[in-house]
Amino acid sequence: QARPARTSPAEAGPTGWPSREKKRKEKEEKEKEKRRKKKSNPHTHEKNQKNLQKERFFRRRRRRRPNREEEEEEKRRRRRRRRRRRRRRKKKKEKRKKKKKRNNKKYYNSRQPKKKQQKQKQKQKKRNKPKKKKKTAQQKQVQRVGPAEKKKEKKKKKKRRKKEGKKEK
């Protein structure tokens, strides 16, 4: 698609394209009309004025290009600020740590007598516990018997009973 031929700059305006220029002008006129309408309501007018000021301010900020030296100076400032912030944070952290340690120490020391009492009580309980009687070898053997051995024992008993019954007959 061929582009429209360029006209003289005076005719075309800042964009250099007549169609674009026309659109831009139309847009501006619409905005002006909007503002005119909003002016009738004082509240919205004030609001609009503030918004316009903001827009202008930000546009100005965007347009302004600082020198290289200024940029570097700004970078340095930012770095310094960052360092300061980091240092401050570090110091605060250390302070908090120290405080915590101190508080923990206080808590630890305050707990010591109570801990001692608890330990003594536990020791006393152990001392006062009745001693378990030692099991004999036979008892231990009985304890070791598992389910398979129990089944075998039952079978043996049954067989014995059967034999005894036959003998009686």
Q: What proportion of the chain, given as a percentage, has pLDDT over 90? A: 27
* pLDDT computed for residue 86 by the predictor: 94
Residues in the chain: 169
* pLDDT computed for residue 30 by the predictor: 92
Q: Position 38: which residue type?
A: K
Average pLDDT over residues 136-150: 75
Q: Where are the domains of the chain?
A: 67-109
* pLDDT computed for residue 15 by the predictor: 56
pLDDT digits (tens, 9 = 90+) for 81-128: 999 999 999 999 999 999 888 888 888 888 899 999 999 999 998 888
* pLDDT computed for residue 97 by the predictor: 92
Distance of CA 59 to the CA centre of its chain: 37
The residue among 43 and 131 whose pLDDT is bigger is: 131
- Confidence class of residue 61 from pLDDT cuts 50, 70 and 90? low
pLDDT digits (tens, 9 = 90+) for 110-121: 889 999 999 999
Q: Kindly state the tokens that stand for 64.
A: 């302004």
18, 11 contact by CB (below 8 A): yes
pLDDT digits (tens, 9 = 90+) for 7-58: 555 555 555 566 778 888 999 999 988 877 766 666 667 777 888 888 888 7
Q: Please state, in angstroms and rounded to a whole number, the distance separating the CA atoms of residues 133 and 78.
A: 80
Burial of 24 (0-12, 13-18, 19+ CB in 10 A): middle
Q: Position 37: which residue type?
A: K
* pLDDT computed for residue 69 by the predictor: 85
The dihedrals phi and psi of 15, each to the nearest 5 degrees, come to -75, -25
Query: Cα torsion for 141, 143, 148, 152, to the nearest 10°?
Result: 60
Q: Please state, in angstroms and rounded to a whole number, the distance separating the CA atoms of residues 34 and 32.
A: 5
* pLDDT computed for residue 90 by the predictor: 94
* pLDDT computed for residue 59 by the predictor: 74
Angle, in degrees to the nearest 10, between helices 18-39 and 42-63: 140
Q: Please state, in angstroms and rounded to a whole number, the distance separating the CA atoms of residues 118 and 154.
A: 52
